[in-house]
A and B are shown apart, each in its own frame.
Chain A
């Protein structure tokens, strides 16, 4: 029976990309296959980089978790089970600033030196944000820089099944409630972001970031709530 494992409150930037299919597919266990977003502002995306600033993670009893605060980036692959058509998101790699989050429950996290600088200037209803995030691990770094005009976010609630690429038997359910502001979308024709710079030198990801990858969308999440459930 699935039970509540932890609760996370954080902010995020979700960068969706279209990367080389063979490099993604070979990371998934059989019979899972890469399943890009079919429609909407993220259509075509098959790789997601989620930059998270965890403000507080609590265990099921409400106590601060060991990794109560964090600054991290998580790489995800959307997938579908070829036989059952079940969908899941596979966690591929995590770079984390919190020593207690590595290797983490998905056993794919590595410790990184983390740095972030974010400047927000708002007047009236207009808001401009510049954000720089750098996570530097032993095998290389992941860096994001961008500037964007914040829009009116959309309140979204959804549920996702999450698995690990190193242990597909490990299954979690994420129930999320968030404000989502899509500031860039190539398929949606949204262009509120500028000076976007994503640089990945992490050697473990070099076949995915070989300069053929393409940016599909960027979503800013200024408010995020998630319950993680799993087998007791």
Chain B
């Protein structure tokens, strides 16, 4: 079994991702977090991150395909911090997953959904235009739907390490080691904006206190090449 230092490998994922960073009402978010966790923010100021994952392959610790080997899902996470011990972690609020084997999931936050994605890439020479349309439909018929069109040029190699915890059970801890190529599509704090079109709509009751029309989109990022290994502490 692979380890990171002394931490055992739990699983790994190879995927493509789209990340939308929002600023939403902090009090609504805070009410979702278990004490003593507090709402933090990304470097660009987002306090809620919606992540669409196109999973090419999930593998277990031994390298075998996981039960939800290929899937797609949408995750909703909050950058959290524990002032008393100085810990920072991404708190997983909710996952809407296409694969039945991904319910309730490693964070115990996953709901079943019909997850649809349409992507069109057009490359001319070394320049690429990307169109995305992602829809998540829960059994009650409610939806999260977003459309995005942007131009893509040079991506950056940005390996990261982070901690993931669950809003349903903050004792669940997963240590992420990520090797990825990332592209900043929009980041107002950096003056970057490659967005040609964007629309976001969410009618899911479960998120209605967070996505209530007052939310502001701050960042859009894409990771067309993503490899994540997850370790236990």
Contacts and interface: CB of A to CB of B under 8 A. Distances in A.
A124 B69 CA distance: 12
A119 B118 CA distance: 7
B120 A123 contact: no
B98 A125 contact: yes
Mostly, the B contact residues are: strand
B59 A155 contact: yes
Size category, A interface: 35 or more
B15 to A, nearest CB: 8
Contact of B121 (A58, A64, A70, A116): A116
B93 interface: no
Interface of A: 9-11, 53, 55-56, 58, 62, 64, 68-71, 97-98, 113-125, 127, 150, 152-153, 155, 179, 222-223, 225
Size category, B interface: 35 or more
Given A56-B157, A223-B14, A119 B124 contact: no
B29 interface: no
Contacts of B126: 69-71, 97-98
12 contacts: A11-B225, A55-B155, A55-B181, A56-B157, A56-B181, A113-B125, A116-B121, A118-B119, A123-B114, A123-B115, A150-B70, A153-B56
Given A123-B116, A155-B57, A58 B157 contact: yes
Interface string B19-55: 0000000000000000000000000000000000010
Contact of A152 (B54, B69, B117): B69
